[in-house]
Structures are given as C-alpha cells and as structure tokens.
Amino acid sequence: MSRLKLRLQIGLEENLPEFGVVANVYDVSSRVSERKSVRDLVIPAGPFPERFEEVKLDPGQYVIEAILPSGEVISEEVSIDESTEQRELLLKSDVSPHEWLAWQHFAGNVERSRDAYYKRQQSIVEQKDAVNIRADLVSLLTLPPRILELDMSSPGALVSRGLFFALPQLKDIDPTQPLPDSLPFFGVLVPPVIRDPTSWVYFFEQDSTSFPSYEVECFKRHYLFVRSQGIPAQYCVLPVPWMQADFHGEAAAQVLVRSIAVNPEVSPATDPGYRISVTVHDHVVGSIISYLGTGKLQAAATIMKKAIEMLEEKVANPMAAAAGAYVLLGTEDLSQPKDWHDWVGNLMKWFPWLPDGAIQHAWLKMNQQDSERNLFEARASLLEGYRRGLPFYSKGVGMLRDGLALFANDARAAGEPDKEIEAALKLVRQLALRTNMRQPFATVLL
Amino acid sequence: MTLVFEEHVDGPATHVIVIGVGTYTYMPEEGLSSPPYSARAFANWMLKKYRNPKKPLASLELLVSDAQTTEFTLPGGEVTCLEKASMTKAKEAIWQWKDRSDGRCDNLVIFYFCGHGIASGLETVLLMDDYGRNPNAMMENAIDFRGFLLGMDKCKAREQCYFVDACRKISETLIESDYQGDPVIHGSVRHSSLGMRRAPVYYSTVPGGEAYGRSNAPSVFTEALIKSLEGAGSDDPEGDWRIYTDRLNVGITYLIERMMGNVARLEQICPAENLTRITLHYIDAKPIVPVTIGCEPNLANKEAELFYSHCDGSNKTTRPNAQTSDWDVDLKEGEYRFSARFANQNYRSRDTDCRHVRPPYRMIRLEVRQ
C-alpha cells in the first residue's frame, strides 16, 4: 500500500482560511474487477501548503477529482507503483479572475472562467451599465418576541425584525443620501476594501479577541444595505460576529457586490443591476454553507460528517450550527430520532434571537407525527420563527414559507382559516418573492 | 390523449410527466418554438433510452402545445395525437400521474416542464397554454411550482426528480399579485409520514426566446440534460455506470457553459435545489464524456493541429479546422492520447501520456510554450 496525500490549492492570499472540499479517487487501472475507488473524501483546500488528506492505495492508475460548490471539477491523473511509499498531489484551481475573488469563485459567485469574467466586465463597462453603489451598515438590537410582543405589521416591529422590505417609505429614499434619521434606524456608510470596475468587496469582523456570548436574550443583528440610482435597493443579512465552529477565533464575513448587465431577455428578478453575495471564512462550515448555497446538499452532507460532532456538542456559533442543521434536515430521515434533534431544540431554546432554530425545530416536529402535540409544537415554533424576524439563511425563508403554507392549507380545508398563520404567511410570501434563491444568506430586494 | 406510454410493472417503477408549451392562445406574441422540440426530445429519450432495471418505466404522460403539429411518433412508429397543455388538461394529467405513482413508496417520479415561467425570489410559476385568458386574474392557468412541490410530498413515491426548463419573465406581475398560481396538489402538514423524500429540482434560466439561437430545436438546458443523462452525470461506485442526480447537475452545468461559451452569464448556469442522490438511469454501454482539449497558452490553438487517438495510436481523429477556441469533443469513457502539432517553431509540439477520460468531464491542457 502507498500513501497518497491530497490537497487543493485555492488562492495564495494568507487571509483565506483552510476549508474542506469533496473529492473522489477513482481507480482506473486495467484490472476492472478489482478496482478500488475511494469516494466522498474531504480534502483540505486553501492557500496553505502544510495539510493533506491521506489515502492508502494499491499500486495502479488513479483519477482524482475535487468538486467545488461552483460545480467546477478539478481533476488530475496519478500513477502509483510498487516503489511509491508516499506521494503528494496538489490539485490546483487557479482560474479565479483575481486573487481577492478566490473565495467567491470557489463558492460560485463569479464566472467560472477568467475569459467570461473579463468579457462580461468589458461589456458592462462599454455599455455604461456599471453602477455606482452606496453601501450602509445597519445594526439593530433584536429583542426576542417573549420580551417584546409587537404587532408584526407595525413599522417598529418590521424594523427590529429586519423585515425592511415591508416598509414602503424605504423604497423611495435617494440612494446618494444617507439613510434618514426619521426612520427608526440609521446606517453607517462603509467603503469597499477592494474593487475593480464591476466588483466591490467588503469585509466584516469585530476584531475581538474575546469570545462573544451568543447565549443572550438580545442580540445585535447587522445588515448591509446596497443602493444605487435607478435600481431597486437590496439588503443582506451580515452574520457577524462569526466565531469559527472549532473555537479558532473569529472568521470574517465577506460581501461581494457584483454589477449585473441589464438583459431585457431575463427578468431582473432579485438581481436588478447588481448581486450581493455573502460568504464566511470559517474553515469548518464555510464550504458547507457554499455547497448549501448552490443546492449541493449531498456534498454539504459529506463535509457535515466530519463537522457534526463539533457542531453538535459545543454550539460554539449558533449561526454555524444552523447551517449544519439545514443540511441534516435536507438529507436525513426526520421520522427517526437522532441525537442532533436535541441540538436543534437547543438552537431554538438557547438563542431566542435566531429565527432559523425555531423554523428548523418546527420542521422536525412536523415530521414526527406521532402525536397531536408535535403538530401543536410545530405550529407554535413556526410562528415563533416568524416573530423572530428575517432568517439568517435563504433556506430558512423557504422553510418558513412552506411550513406556514402547509398549516394554512389544512386550516382552509377544514373550513376554519387560521388567522394567525394567514397573517404570517402573507408577509412571508412577500419575503420569499424578494429573497435571492442563489444566496445562502438571506439577501432581500427592497 | 396525454398518456402515451403505459406498461404494467411488478414492483417499483418510474412514472413520468412531460409538459411542453410553445403556443400561448391568449398571448400569441409570446409563442416559443423550442419547448415542443424540448418536450418531445426528453419524452423520446425516456421512451427509447431510459433504462432502470430496479424501477422500469411504467408510464409517460405527454402534453405539448405546438403551433406546427399535434402528432408524436412513438418508438414503434405509431403516430399519436397529443393534447395541448391547457391548465385543465395539465391538472388532469398531473393528478393521474400522481395517482399512478402513489402505488408504492419505492416508485420514482419524474416531472419535466418546458415553456414560459415567471419567477421571483424563491417562487416559480409555470404558465400553461391558456395563461392570460383573464386579464383581471393574471395568475390563472399557471402552476404555483413551489406549492406543487410541497403538495407532492403527499405522493407515496419517495424519489422525485423535477426539471424546470422555463425562461423567467415579467416577474413584477408575480410580486404584485397575492395569488401565485394553482399548486394543483395542495400540501398538508398531515402528510403520510412515509419516510424521507428525495426531491432534487433542476432549473434552467436560459431564456427560451430566439436570442439564444434555439429556434426549432431543443433548448440549451434540455440538450445539456439529455447529454448528461448519456454520460456526464454518471459514476460507477457499484461497477456499472449509472446516472446519479447529484452528478447530473455537474454535467448539465458544464455542458451549458460549453454550449454557450463566454456568452453564458452566471445567472444562466443551471441552479438546483435539494441535490440529494437518486439513481436515475443505468447506462448500457460506456458513458459519453465531454472533453475539452486546448493549448496552453490558449492563443496557440489557432496554429495547432489538435488530435486524439486510442493509446495504441488507432482511431486518430483530427480537429477539422484550427480555431482560437478550445476543441470540444464527446468521447466514450476510456484511455486516450491527446496531441498538438505545429508547422512553425512558435510553439512546441506536444503529446500527452495515456489519459483516462471519465465522467463528469475532462479538460486536457497541452503545455506548448517553447
């Protein structure tokens, strides 16, 4: 047996984290009946050359492939002979248009080839479609529903819950001006750290060495508003402070705002003029979130197998744990009891500012229909999730919308419409219509 | 008639519904030539090539609204007349398809739609051919696709696969409307608790209009889908080659990019939801693998004679004309040698060792710098 040491080289900038990527080793030797492939490996990826994933292989010919969240497949062929004791193989993804876009390229938020990126940039610049944007950071202390019971349709409730899209007065604000003081919040203009003619990148982190307490009643939530002349404004959830799930300190949240040429053939939908993409530099769940964002649940579940204990036992970061829970909810049979079900219950109980935990708990209960009590609890948890406000993840918006729709259907069919559910569904449907399905973190059109 | 194929299967089976809308009675200017070709191509593929020994094809419903013809030639040569994809007919067909699929938990269902769609955010609405009949109710005669997906959890079949090849227009109508179409099957929180449902959804956002040169031909998405079903979406973890739903997406994405080249916009690359693993199809022979061959640097392509052959030198195939772009070929899984030859000294001629070509795709870069 020989040892093959594998890693994927992505980017060279040292501020990129190391993270896991799904890889397969295919035995393509001529002895077809004895082929021994190794699938669903998680290999380290990033700029650092130290770490490898090791596989033991018989002498033979192998094709090694890594599948990125963007769908790009990087493959190499290696030959292992009797004399090979150990071999290192570095898979390389080097087509990112800029070093500073390496992570966004990995996540599938920019074109997969340099040529396509630059051609598009050129065409946008030539057509003068490139937009001047203004980005404001809005931070709000979120009081949990059990402390502050608000009529969810009141402006105060909508603002404190991050449901800004439902405030008509926000749609008409001059994008060249600061967010007005007359609104119950104000924004702080933030300049991009890096830009080219069509891409702007922002980094958000608290630079704190102390570990933030997530287990609080009131939590400060952050949003980035992006506005431009003649183009509908958008805002996104900023998942900060983001502590790495393995207690290795804080990870930056990176926001890319990318200019999109207006194409009359395609409805602007939720990307009018520009697109906002949020990623987190977490080396445990960063790639899980990226796979989740491109719908690759199976790949996300492969990475989860390695991360589950870390997420399950410690809940170092409930936002990271919620990402993991979405993967498990989408890939596991929920009717069978599992240890992680308790962990989802804890996400709901311990973090009353986190809508996603309540929504996930509701779906678990909906799938455990051994008693009426479970359905009662599911309905209550969905409404709790709704009252907590804008979910951190787009997946949460979808599951909230779907859960409410199912309860509404049953009540209507019984001839007794559920007014509370109907009111929540009306607002959440509008949210779902404005949420960009291609982004893992909730990004909403105003 | 919408049921064009039905065969009794003892045990688990596959039930398919295919809907293609190329004409819109109340919006004649919105007619598309591609959806009828796309729907027929997908239905034909299912009838002629689909092979799943564990879940053989048991039924196929086909509805096509086509300005040219209502006929459909079955694999045996028999010609049948197709129903138009009106809302009423589509609903009836969907209900029958769902009822048939309800027979067993281990059945597999496949839903395919090609036509106009309206989409915004997480919502997608599929327009049937009588959409727009009532200007006062613009969302009538349209399927609320997200609601339909929720409703399909009532279907006993736990493996469900959805292909939505719909352009996305006039989404403002959707945002302004309180009603987002008919879910056809209403979901219930008291669903049957039949165990986990695997329901991957593949969307195309490539416009169905003429701008992308797909008049009177299957759409880019459907062509990529069918090609992927023939190889790019396959793997062989159990020895034989099978199409898996999570691999299929990688193949479709690559093929769309390859077909559209640098014209492909990021938002046109096949987005997907719930990509869990279902075994969709068993490939009879070797899978066909998309391979892209090019020189490094790329500029050398236009001076290169590019060719490939089997490893023993047989079956040499040469690129007909040198071009600046890379050379896209489809090869059977196996071992090949790839070469670039130059008549001048600007670049170094190059031959690869024997290279294994296997799904989902292979990029061959020939380093030819002097």
d(CA A238, CA A136): 12
Chain B residue nearest residue A296, CA to CA: B275
Stretch A122-134: mean pLDDT? 74
Whether the predicted pLDDT of A12 surpasses 70: no
Q: Where are the domains of chain B?
A: 3-282, 288-367
Q: Pairing relation of β-strands B201-204 and B159-168?
A: parallel
Question: Which residues are CB-neighbours of A78 under 8 A, at least 6 positions away?
Answer: A4, A61, A62, A64, A87, A89
Same fold, B3-282 and B288-367: no
Stretch A223-230: mean pLDDT? 88
- Among B189, B272, B363, the residue with its CB nearest the CB of A410 is B189
The number of residues making up chain B comes to 370
A contacts of B356 (beta carbons < 8 Å): 28, 61, 63, 77
Stretch B328-337: mean pLDDT? 96
H/E stretch holding B150 reads: helix B145-151
Q: Which of A203-212, A373-382, A413-422, B25-34 has the lowest mean pLDDT?
A: A203-212
Would you call B245 exposed, middle or buried from its count of C-beta atoms within 10 A (0-12, 13-18, 19+)?
Answer: buried
* Residue pairs between chains A and B whose CB atoms are closer than 8 Å: 167
* Beta carbons of A296 and B272 less than 8 Å apart: yes
pLDDT of residue B204: 85
Q: Report yes or no: A417 and A211 within 8 Å, Cβ to Cβ.
A: no
**Contact residues, A window 194-233, toward B, CB-based 8 Å cutoff:** none
Q: Pairing relation of β-strands B57-65 and B14-21?
A: parallel
Whether the predicted pLDDT of A42 surpasses 60: yes
* Beta carbons of B271 and A73 less than 8 Å apart: no
Query: Percent of chain A at pLDDT above 70?
Result: 90
- Among B262, B265, B362, the residue with its CB nearest the CB of A75 is B362
Q: Report yes or no: B255 and B290 within 8 Å, Cβ to Cβ.
A: yes
**Whole-prediction pTM value?**
0.93
Q: Which of A159-163, A194-198, A263-267 has the highest mean pLDDT?
A: A159-163
pLDDT of residue A265: 52
pLDDT of residue A48: 73
B211 — pLDDT class (breaks 50, 70, 90): very low
Query: Percent of chain A at pLDDT above 90?
Result: 41
HSE at residue B305, side-chain half, CA atoms within 13 A, is 8
Give tens-digit pLDDT for B184-205.
999 999 875 678 899 999 988 6
* Beta carbons of A267 and B171 less than 8 Å apart: yes
- Among B167, B262, B269, the residue with its CB nearest the CB of A115 is B262
* Beta carbons of B150 and A402 less than 8 Å apart: yes
Chain B residue nearest residue A403, CA to CA: B189
Give tens-digit pLDDT for A398-433.
999 999 999 999 999 999 999 999 999 999 999 999
* Beta carbons of B189 and A378 less than 8 Å apart: yes
Q: What is the tally of helices (H) and strands (E) in chain B?
A: 6, 22
Chain B residue nearest residue A440, CA to CA: B273
* Beta carbons of A331 and B355 less than 8 Å apart: no
pLDDT of residue B253: 87
Give tens-digit pLDDT for B51-63.
999 999 999 999 9
B contacts of A378 (beta carbons < 8 Å): 189
pLDDT of residue A182: 65
Q: In the predicted model, what is the mean pLDDT of chain A?
A: 85
Whether the predicted pLDDT of B261 surpasses 80: no
pLDDT of residue B81: 94
pLDDT of residue B207: 36
Q: Which of A368-377, A379-388, B34-43, B315-324 has the lowest mean pLDDT?
A: A368-377
B contacts of A436 (beta carbons < 8 Å): 121
The interface predicted TM-score (ipTM) is 0.92
pLDDT of residue B209: 33
**Contact residues, A window 113-142, toward B, CB-based 8 Å cutoff:** 113, 115-116, 119-120
Give tens-digit pLDDT for A275-302.
899 999 888 899 999 999 888 888 999 9
Stretch B21-36: mean pLDDT? 88
pLDDT of residue B263: 55
B contacts of A270 (beta carbons < 8 Å): 120-121
- Among A26, A267, A409, the residue with its CB nearest the CB of B187 is A409
B245 — pLDDT class (breaks 50, 70, 90): very high
Whether the predicted pLDDT of B228 surpasses 60: yes
* Beta carbons of B188 and A406 less than 8 Å apart: yes
Stretch B64-78: mean pLDDT? 93
- Cα→Cα distances B345→A221, B300, B304, Å: 63, 11, 11
**Contact residues, A window 331-360, toward B, CB-based 8 Å cutoff:** 331-335
Give the CATH fold of the B3-282 domain: Rossmann fold (3.40.50)
* Beta carbons of B122 and A269 less than 8 Å apart: no
Give tens-digit pLDDT for A356-399.
999 999 999 998 877 889 999 999 999 999 999 999 999 999 99
**Contact residues, A window 140-159, toward B, CB-based 8 Å cutoff:** none
* Beta carbons of B249 and A432 less than 8 Å apart: no
Whether the predicted pLDDT of A80 surpasses 70: yes
The residue written with tokens 């094809």 in the block is B57
pLDDT of residue A174: 84
d(CA A316, CA B120): 35
A17 — pLDDT class (breaks 50, 70, 90): confident
Homologous superfamily, domain B288-367 = Carboxypeptidase-like, regulatory domain (2.60.40.1120)
- Among B188, B355, B360, the residue with its CB nearest the CB of A410 is B188
Chain A residue nearest residue B250, CA to CA: A71
pLDDT of residue A207: 63
Q: In the predicted model, what is the mean pLDDT of chain B?
A: 90
